[in-house]
Structure formats: C-alpha cells, structure tokens
Amino acid sequence: GDQVEQSPSALSLHEGTDSALRCNFTTTMRSVQWFRQNSRGSLISLFYLASGTKENGRLKSAFDSKERRYSTLHIRDAQLEDSGTYFCAANYGNEKITFGAGTKLTIKP
Amino acid sequence: DPKIIQKPKYLVAVTGSEKILICEQYLGHNAMYWYRQSAKKPLEFMFSYSYQKLMDNQTASSRFQPQSSKKNHLDLQITALKPDDSATYFCASSQESTPNSDYTFGSGTRLLVI
C-alpha cells in the first residue's frame, strides 16, 4: 500500500499568511526530504531530515523523532514565489526514497 | 552550474522506436536513480544503482534498461516506445544508497510518444 500520504492535496493561501503541510507514513521511516517543484518542473530540495527540525528563512520542517511516522513543513509569511507543488519523500531503509502525491500550493496576492 | 545534467530536455518519439535518455552527475556521488512522473501519478521510483551496480528495479517492463558506462553516468534506454511511456523522467543521485543520504535531482527529460 501507499507508504507516504500527503495532505492537503491542494492549498490556496493569501500572501502573508502561515500554513503547514503534512506527510504521514504508514511505516517507520529513517529519513525524510522535502522538495518544491516549480512551474518549469524542476525539483528543488528544501530540507533533508533524519530527525528533529530544520529551518531556512520562512520555511521550517520537523520530523517526528519518536515514532518517525510523520513530518511537517511550515510556511511562514507566504510569498508569491512560494507557489508550486511540494513533495515529501521518505526512506524506510532501502535503496530509494518514496514520494507522496504532493501538495499544490497557490499563493494569492 | 547544473550538478546533474539530463539530456535532452524534451523528446518526441514515434511509437515503436527506441530512445536513450542521458544522465551525468558531477557531485561525486556513488548512487544514482531514475524516477518517472506522469500526469496522473506521483513520482515513481524506477531504478537505483550503487557503484555502478543495480540495487533495485521497480519497473515491470524490460523495455526500460539502465546503462552505466561510467561511475557518474546512468543512462536510460527505452525500447519499443508506447504512448503510455509519455512522462517526465528524472535522474537523481546521492552520496550513498543508504537512508542517511539526501537526493539531488536533475531537471528531467520530458518524453512524448506519439
């Protein structure tokens, strides 16, 4: 079955607002990586986490260190350039990462 | 400078033909991968290679064959192309194939089979 479940599938925000995206895993994961896919289709790595939290500017990500069954991506003060599709991808210990279905984020003025 | 080069960026092919998608990485990584993204599905894992050896294959069809002529190359040969093969194919790499390595993706090859 699906190992990586992303929510919501789509999200529309006004500039300046905050929100959070979530990934749930059906099994314990060793690591998680968050990507943004822009309008040209390029996959840009945002965060890689084996545990804990990381922050970069207005973005912050957390990986549940206890159960290792979910991760979140927080967007603070959303800007137009944050629009895109956000993917989480997780590794449960084999030679690949498995992607979620993505969250399509639209930022409105 | 792009650290993973995929060529070509766009490719139109006729049903039944054969094409090779090129991938080269300049990150000094030891593991390389192919993923596929079609319009109706999320990014799907296809192959993983570590030190030029196949580690995992989740592609049902033998029409897809990776080729690793050098450590930093992992090309993808697709034979007997079908319209359903139309998708964007992404190459990726990581330092090692273990869970404690993050992945870098190329910009993809967008394939259209007519």
Measured between alpha carbons, how far is A75 from A18 in angstroms, rounded to an integer? 6
Residues of chain A positioned with their CB less than 8 A from the CB of B90: 43
Cα angle for residues B25, A36, A15 (degrees, 5° grid): 150
B113 near B14, Cβ under 8 Å?
Answer: yes
Measured between alpha carbons, how far is A32 from A93 in angstroms, rounded to an integer? 11
Q: What is the pLDDT of residue A1?
A: 56
B103 strand-pairing partners: B94
Residues of chain A positioned with their CB less than 8 A from the CB of B100: 30-31, 50
| Interface residue B27 vs chain A (CB under 8 A) | no
Query: How does pLDDT run across B24-74, given as a tens digit for each residue?
Result: 999 999 999 999 999 877 899 999 999 999 999 999 899 999 999 999 999
Closest residue on chain A to B107 (Cα): A42
Which burial class, exposed, middle or buried, applies to A90 when counting CB atoms under 10 A from its CB (0-12, 13-18, 19+)?
Answer: buried
Which of A35, A42, A50 comes nearest B100 by C-beta?
A50
Looking at the complex, report in whole angstroms how far the Cα of residue B17 sits from the nearest Cα belonging to chain A: 25
Looking at the complex, report in whole angstroms how far the Cα of residue B27 sits from the nearest Cα belonging to chain A: 15
C-alpha distances out from residue A19 to A69, A88, B22, Å: 20, 16, 38
Q: What is the pLDDT of residue B103?
A: 96
Residues of chain B positioned with their CB less than 8 A from the CB of A31: 99-100, 102
> Which of A28, A96, A98, A104 should we substitute to test contact with B (largest number of B Cβ atoms within 10 Å)?
A96
Query: How does pLDDT run across A23-79, given as a tens digit for each residue?
Result: 999 999 999 999 999 999 999 999 999 999 999 999 999 999 888 999 999 999 999
Query: How does pLDDT run across B71-110, given as a tens digit for each residue?
Result: 999 999 999 999 999 999 999 999 998 888 999 999 999 9
Q: What is the pLDDT of residue A95?
A: 82
Place of tokens 């080069």: B5
